[in-house]
């Protein structure tokens, strides 16, 4: 490898989330600021909500029910 071209690796870099959670990681940066982490992301916390603002799910269910009735 070439000398003096690689960045310094920090094995104890600190990641700070917008929710306030912090945890250590290995990185070439000293501190890393993120917006969402595994402690506040809905997928990992189990608070996942399906947002149906345009009514697409209801329209799909209505069409599926209507098409099922005509085939019989």
In this predicted structure, the answer to whether residue 13 has a pLDDT above a threshold of 90 is yes
Question: Per the domain annotation, does 59 fall within a domain?
Answer: yes
Q: Give how many domains the chain has, as a whole number.
A: 1
Write out the residue range of the structural domain in which residue 45 sits. 10-71
Question: Per the domain annotation, does 39 fall within a domain?
Answer: yes
Question: Per the domain annotation, does 5 fall within a domain?
Answer: no
For residues 50, 52, 55, 56, the Cα torsion angle rounded to the nearest 10 degrees is -70
Question: Per the domain annotation, does 3 fall within a domain?
Answer: no
Lowest mean pLDDT among 2-11, 48-57, 61-70: 48-57
Confidence (pTM): 0.54
Q: Specify the CATH number for the domain of residue 57.
A: 4.10.80.400
Question: Per the domain annotation, does 14 fall within a domain?
Answer: yes
Q: What is the pLDDT of residues 34-64, one digit of tens each?
A: 988 888 887 777 776 666 667 788 888 888 8
* Average pLDDT score over the chain: 84
């Amino acid at each position: 490898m070439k000398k003096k071209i690689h960045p310094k690796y920090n094995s104890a870099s600190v990641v700070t989330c917008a929710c306030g959670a912090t945890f250590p990681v290995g990185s070439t940066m000293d501190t890393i600021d993120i917006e969402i982490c595994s402690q506040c992301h809905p997928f990992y916390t189990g608070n996942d909500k399906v947002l149906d603002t345009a009514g697409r799910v209801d329209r799909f269910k209505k069409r599926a029910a209507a098409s099922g009735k005509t085939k019989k």
